Chain A
């Protein structure tokens, strides 16, 4: 096996092109795959030596628009600890594995691994994140909603590197929250996770985004539910009224981690709790609550 550790993105992109190797970031998924024999790459291209891929940057063009740029190799722990980032993303990052895993694992790895239970995926969807893919031939930007195509499948081509994740500053100005449930409290893989991101004016919800993970082959936006919530009072939501719009939108499966029925039931509960968290943040900070 060859192990390469380029120090710039362009070097990495051309190595990837010429070697047809596999990308290694934190390695928390890759090392498990290699140990299990699921993959045995001839060349590994380790991105963690590239400083430009790390860290969070804010590009503000004027006070309304602009983007927040997260380097793909920013660790999950750094995401969880960053006070600049929206709550749902930080909470999602905090739910990944254990401190040890979060110190190694990267957000780019979580995205490219594209597991339906990835804990940052639903938050990224609700934040209208854009993924910037770079190859030797150039870059292209894909909306998070169009990125995932199936379990562990994405539109990323083997010669493309996820360079960064861009969040519209506008999303970061909203209120957001993430909830998950697993088979235990510590170090659990999500049986279901849910993220909610919305604006609140006069107690009423607008520009609502809701996404859930682990209940479909890909992380899923619940557009019907978003529509349903729009204009409603954030404080007055009940579990019962959420049931139908949530259950209509999701197609969970039975697997070793839990049954489809349980997944359905707790999805409703997690969306409810995430909304309640948003309501709490709103009432604490007041109108225009912002986490950025």
Chain B
């Protein structure tokens, strides 16, 4: 391999280090105006009046829009029937809900005028907990009730088998909401025209196009969505991008002027989706030899005010709740619930971090009860090729969990520390599996085009988005490898709905796999043309030709070579196609809807982490001394990118486990800024040592599997286990803050 597996620079890095990359807020057009919204400010109620006079009379204000001004259905969402208005018309379901859109000559004026709007709301008692939402006489937040989706998974005899267990451990675990906190707040810029163009910081341009078209009441093909360079997304720039994207387009068409809407940081926290808070009740039964025979798990997700991705997150938690283990009997119920809080949706990990924290905590508790080594219990129960996972799916290969456990076991042991001093020391382990592809969430298709120019350079187009994760680099590597050209000669175009094929959402760690397969197929077709042409030119058979180092080369005589540019030029004039549009479709999920038994994902990424921590018993301050993160990624395509993904995802997991919490009071978020919502700074970083394990995956390009998400779950879980080990106290709620740690130490001290 020339390029695959090699350390390469990010193909789109030059623009980013020079400040030339155009993010959505960097677009400037003549006559551009700016939008800002007035938000509800109360978590629940009915709008009784809206006074826009003050705003309308503010100098510089150009237009004021309410729900009545939306040409289309005024709805967005992920799964039909859609439930979320662009601008609330009557009912208010969360405090961050947009009610009025102001368009003004500057963003400052728009914001100032938004403050002058007064929305009269007849308040309801807000429903702020899942228990209140599920109470039999609870007010219905949506017509259909307060349950978004509830699903069951049943393998073997389910919970009934717990009776046969020698030991059963039982617990309830909770996690908090988490904000994506990408550095670039959500931003869109709409340019009017017969065909409107939207430049958006976003994750899924085709999803936006559909909603923009529907809400403008025009055909989808008349809308052009261009993904601007996007400053991070992690799942978060989907719903909200459709919301402000639709609003900007509607205003732009009304005024015939370009409209830019950029969220402030506060809006990014209160007005766009968060990671679901979860409560997970769990029982695990095992035999004295450590074999787990049954798990019963109930997952309750607080989904906030709108459905968003909740149904899919529900499914994901259902499937992943029992962990990467070979267990005969599993019963899971997973339910997501509406409350009057900011809606929850996709966030890197997609439900798996929450259930993995619960599962891995309980595995430790089980090991302790059995008096077994905590890594050994994972080894005994961990999945192997040929085992049946919790959905009953059996993979013949690429189940690298055991190898990740071995690699972790082989790491140097943490140094022993004397007992009794100011500092407490602990070590934790956690294993994870995370499904790759849309799986049970829907059909998974990606389309990609590969096009060679006569000079031998290549342009790749695909409908999946680069969000910083390095997908463009991976696709460029695949093409460079197949066509034997230097990676510098491969460009990956930005996503423009006019120019690339709808490839579904950029989610579920599917860019490398499903996206990469499409790129691989298209590149192989172009390769065929080049080989055919070269064979004609060299008057030999096609199998004697290989593409390498920018040449078509005769295999038996290296010196017989033609530059690929000459071959491409000849192919062009001969009429051999130099462009191909290929599709890859993941094998469809095939499972029983009542029990969720069957084949769901094209593959899983498996991982095992170890973390060593030092805890200051006087302040609760934690220092992470070591963090080893082993993941089975099938095949490493770009080591630099992979390590970056594992390190970045791990710190998000660490933030979730230790530092980040959305504080609500009466349904209003109290810490909607980066001073009080503490995402980790460089001084909080953890020394992640990423260790790739390669267990070839037949469903990915060159054997690769996605890797962007699973470390979040494993890092969160391993932190909880390491801290619990250090403090000798089982923490059951994330985040485990310094304060929680100090409390636990003191409680433990008081009770002997």
Residues of A within 8 A of B (CB): 37, 181, 183-189, 239, 256-259, 261-262, 265-266, 268-270, 272-273
Contact = CB atoms under 8 A, between A and B. Distances in A.
A269 B618 contact: yes
Interface stretch (B357-365, B397-405, B675-683): B675-683
A186 B651 CA distance: 15
B675 A189 contact: yes
19 contacts: A181-B619, A181-B738, A183-B676, A183-B737, A184-B684, A185-B683, A186-B682, A188-B681, A256-B670, A256-B671, A261-B743, A262-B739, A262-B742, A265-B619, A265-B746, A266-B618, A268-B618, A269-B616, A273-B618
Contacts of B618: 239, 266, 268-269, 272-273
A289 to B, nearest CB: 24
Given A239-B618, A256-B676, A262-B739, A186 B659 contact: no
B742 to A, nearest CB: 6
Interface string B727-752: 00000000001110011001000000
Given A189-B675, A256-B671, 11 more contacts: A181-B738, A183-B678, A184-B680, A185-B684, A186-B682, A186-B684, A256-B663, A256-B670, A262-B738, A269-B616, A270-B619
B621 interface: yes
Given A239-B618, A272-B618, A188 B738 contact: no
A259 B663 contact: no
A25 B681 CA distance: 27
The dominant DSSP class at the B interface is loop
B681 A257 contact: no
Contact of A185 (B616, B681, B742, B743): B681
A261 B620 CA distance: 13
Interface in B603-640: 616, 618-621
Nearest to A183: B678
B57 interface: no
A183 B746 contact: no
A265 B618 CA distance: 8
Contacts of B663: 256
Contacts of B28: none
Contacts of A189: 675-676
B619 A269 contact: yes
Interface string B697-708: 000000000000
A181 B678 CA distance: 13
A276 to B, nearest CB: 10
Interface in B646-665: 659, 663
Contacts of A185: 681, 683-684
Question: What are the 6 closest A-B residue pairs judged by CB atoms, nearest first?
Answer: A186-B681, A186-B683, A185-B683, A269-B618, A262-B739, A183-B678
Interface of B: 115, 616, 618-621, 659, 663, 670-671, 675-676, 678, 680-684, 737-739, 742-743, 746
A193 B620 CA distance: 15
A22 B680 CA distance: 35
B310 to A, nearest CB: 27
Contacts of A257: 676
Given A183-B659, A186-B683, A266 B619 contact: yes
A256 to B, nearest CB: 5
B459 to A, nearest CB: 40
With a 10 A CB-CB cut-off, give which of A37, A187, A258 has the most chain B CB atoms.
A187
Contacts of B746: 265
With a 10 A CB-CB cut-off, give which of B115, B618, B663, B742 has the most chain A CB atoms.
B618
Contacts of A186: 681-684
Contact of B115 (A37, A256, A261, A269): A37
A37 B115 CA distance: 10
B164 to A, nearest CB: 45
B682 A258 contact: no
Contacts of A256: 663, 670-671, 676
A188 B619 contact: no
Contacts of B115: 37
Contacts of A269: 616, 618-619
Contacts of B742: 262, 265-266
Given A184-B659, A239-B618, A259 B739 contact: yes
Contacts of A258: 739
A187 B671 contact: no
A184 B115 CA distance: 33
A187 B681 contact: yes
A266 B741 CA distance: 12
Given A239-B618, A256-B663, A184 B678 contact: yes
B269 to A, nearest CB: 13
Nearest to A256: B670
Nearest to A98: B681
B175 to A, nearest CB: 18
A252 B619 CA distance: 16
Contacts of A270: 619
A268 B742 CA distance: 13
A258 B659 CA distance: 12
Nearest to B658: A184
A269 B621 CA distance: 11
B621 A181 contact: yes
A186 B659 CA distance: 12
Contacts of B680: 184
Contacts of B684: 184-186
B666 to A, nearest CB: 13
With a 10 A CB-CB cut-off, give which of A183, A239, A269 has the most chain B CB atoms.
A183
Contacts of B681: 184-188
A215 to B, nearest CB: 14
Contacts of B737: 183
A249 to B, nearest CB: 19
Contacts of A183: 659, 676, 678, 737
A172 B742 CA distance: 35
A262 B417 CA distance: 27
Contact of B678 (A188, A262, A265): A188
Contacts of B739: 258-259, 262
Contacts of A184: 659, 678, 680-681, 683-684
A97 to B, nearest CB: 9
A28 B725 CA distance: 42
Contacts of B682: 186
With a 10 A CB-CB cut-off, give which of A185, A265, A266 has the most chain B CB atoms.
A185
Nearest to A185: B683
A187 B618 CA distance: 21
Nearest to B422: A239
B639 to A, nearest CB: 28
A270 B742 CA distance: 14
A37 B671 CA distance: 17
A245 B115 CA distance: 48
Contacts of A259: 739
Nearest to B264: A35
Nearest to A182: B678
A213 to B, nearest CB: 16
A188 B681 CA distance: 9
Nearest to B681: A186
B728 to A, nearest CB: 19
Contacts of A187: 681
A257 B671 CA distance: 9
B40 to A, nearest CB: 18
A33 B616 CA distance: 36
A121 to B, nearest CB: 18
A261 B670 CA distance: 20
A278 B746 CA distance: 27
Nearest to A40: B112
B684 to A, nearest CB: 5
Contacts of A261: 743
A262 B744 CA distance: 12
A239 B739 CA distance: 18
A191 B117 CA distance: 36
Nearest to B108: A35
A269 to B, nearest CB: 4
A188 B684 CA distance: 11
